[in-house]
């Protein structure tokens, strides 16, 4: 297949492109390098040094003899988006190209507006480009489990059958997201479903949990192929923060009581999920949803797992939660679609032992402790870019 990976310079986009290339697909990547600009803005950087996208592409060709196409541009630029699709003529598009951090979207008005404009308008341009260029292209869109929020009922896989006043229907599962970023993903899902329904497009929405891990078999082949390892309070995951704190001998800082539960999966499972979705496309007119997780844990349980796997004794400390969220909640998720296609998951404890501690120790000298302090407060609003 010819597969176009949008956001191919990012944490997940780059390993996905390599994995699909290794599987024998013809792959091209596109990026506008906005993610690197966020680092400059926030004064943060990946724990693991990363090369330029051009160097990465050249290295992959050097190591494997396989070429990856490269497009530089922005989905908000409709002319670029149309031109790219017409030139590359993909069979499938994997869409990672969005601002992906909830805290970033909650900094102030400017960042909230940017997040929704970038994500929703870029996705809408892409839908129009697919419809006008080749409606048979299969769109594989990376959503998030955060779209659902924390309902007090089981979370179904995108759709739910309801009975109301004696009548039944199948509708999109109700969403109650917890940030302007997650809201942008909800808007994306609704726009994609609408486009499938009225234009006959085909799409798979992957509602992805928190991804952990930094290496795949492909990125491990050469240090120049490494992907990001984010640990700062805005773009980093709580797991990465815990691992770094453990390696440095610091307490693991849990927000609130730690009863917040999150769906999770290994980065190696992420790229496999995308492979399965691309190779088993949705039907024309179908808006298909997979909940892309392999296990779920509370934040306290994640901290306990890191502490258990840590070679050194660590303490757990609880901080005031800067987010507005339930401290404890019901959480049960249906996630059968991808295992039925062949997904065999890795588990968190194995990944911690296999790679995360070792990678963190190797680059511990690059840690900036001040970057891990929470600076964005959900309860305060600002119309100015006051975040430092």
Catalytic residues: 144, 181, 185
Closest CA to 216 of 265, 266, 264, 263: 266
Q: At what angle do helices 238-247 and 299-309 cross, to 10 degrees?
A: 30
Q: Which residues have a Cβ under 8 Å from the Cβ of 97 and sit 6 or more positions away? A: 6, 7, 10, 13, 30, 31, 32, 75, 122
- Contact (CB, 8 A) for 151 and 106: no
Are 258 and 128 spatial neighbours (Cβ–Cβ below 8 Å)? Answer: no
């Amino acid at each position: 297949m010819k597969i176009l990976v949008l956001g191919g310079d990012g944490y997940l986009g780059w390993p996905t492109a390599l994995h699909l290339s290794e599987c024998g697909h013809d792959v091209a990547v596109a990026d506008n390098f906005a993610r690197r600009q966020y680092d400059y803005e926030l004064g943060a950087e990946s724990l693991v040094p990363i090369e330029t996208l051009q160097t990465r592409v050249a290295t992959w060709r050097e190591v494997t003899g396989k070429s990856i196409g490269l497009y530089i541009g922005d989905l908000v630029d409709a002319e670029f988006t149309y031109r790219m699709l017409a030139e590359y003529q993909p069979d499938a598009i994997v869409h990672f190209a969005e601002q992906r951090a909830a805290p970033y979207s909650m900094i102030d008005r400017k960042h909230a507006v940017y997040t929704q404009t970038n994500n929703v308008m870029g996705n809408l341009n892409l839908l129009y480009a697919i419809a006008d260029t080749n409606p048979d292209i299969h769109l594989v869109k990376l959503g998030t489990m955060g779209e659902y929020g924390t309902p007090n009922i089981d979370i179904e896989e995108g759709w739910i059958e309801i009975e109301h006043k004696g009548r039944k229907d199948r509708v999109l599962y109700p969403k109650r997201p917890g940030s302007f970023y997650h809201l942008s993903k909800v808007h994306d899902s609704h726009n994609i479903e609408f486009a499938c329904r009225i234009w006959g497009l085909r799409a798979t929405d992957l509602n992805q949990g928190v991804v952990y891990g930094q290496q795949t078999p492909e990125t491990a082949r050469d240090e120049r192929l490494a992907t990001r390892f984010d640990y700062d309070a805005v773009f980093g995951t709580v797991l990465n923060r815990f691992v770094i704190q453990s390696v440095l001998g610091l307490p693991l800082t849990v927000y609130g009581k730690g009863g917040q539960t999150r769906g999770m999966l290994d980065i190696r499972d992420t790229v496999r999920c995308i492979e399965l979705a691309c190779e088993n496309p949705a039907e024309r007119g179908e808006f298909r949803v997979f909940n892309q997780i392999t296990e779920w844990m509370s934040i306290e349980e994640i901290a306990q797992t890191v502490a258990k796997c840590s070679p050194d004794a660590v303490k757990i400390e609880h901080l005031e939660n800067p987010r507005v969220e339930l401290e404890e909640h019901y959480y049960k998720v249906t996630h059968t679609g991808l295992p039925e296609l062949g997904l065999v998951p890795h588990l968190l404890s194995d990944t911690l032992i296999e790679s995360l501690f070792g990678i963190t120790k190797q680059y511990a000298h690059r840690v900036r402790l001040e970057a891990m302090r929470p600076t964005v407060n959900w309860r305060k609003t600002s119309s100015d870019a006051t975040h430092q």
